[in-house]
Amino acid sequence: MNTTLARERANLLGLSYRVIAEDLGVGKTAVTRWLTGENEIPSRYVIPLADLLGVTADRLLRDEPAPAERVGAA
């Protein structure tokens, strides 16, 4: 998972890890571990988290920047 993107989107949207956890029905510790890369996010939470963060699941799962985000992209 692109943890940098996830953290940036959560911050941009003003979503605390507690709020994300409540929305997904999991503990705050689980969200913290997913967004820091300590644990992998279970597949059943990928789409709900992506929806909450306003990105596609594909984008959330990519480790590399999307083409438009790459340095020097036109």
pLDDT digits (tens, 9 = 90+) for 21-45: 999 999 999 999 999 999 999 999 9
pLDDT digits (tens, 9 = 90+) for 41-66: 999 999 999 999 999 999 999 876 65
Q: Name which of 4, 31, 9, 2 is nearest 18 in CA terms.
A: 31
CATH of 3-61, one of 3.40.30.10, 3.40.1280.10, 3.40.50.1970, 1.10.260.40: 1.10.260.40
Please tell me the number of Cα atoms within 13 Å of 34 on its side-chain side: 25
The rounded distance, in Å, linking the Cα atoms of 3 and 74 is 25
Task: Name the residue with higher pLDDT: 27 or 69.
Answer: 27
Instruction: Decide: pTM greater than 0.85.
Output: no
Mean pLDDT of 14-25: 97
Domain ranges in the chain are: 3-61
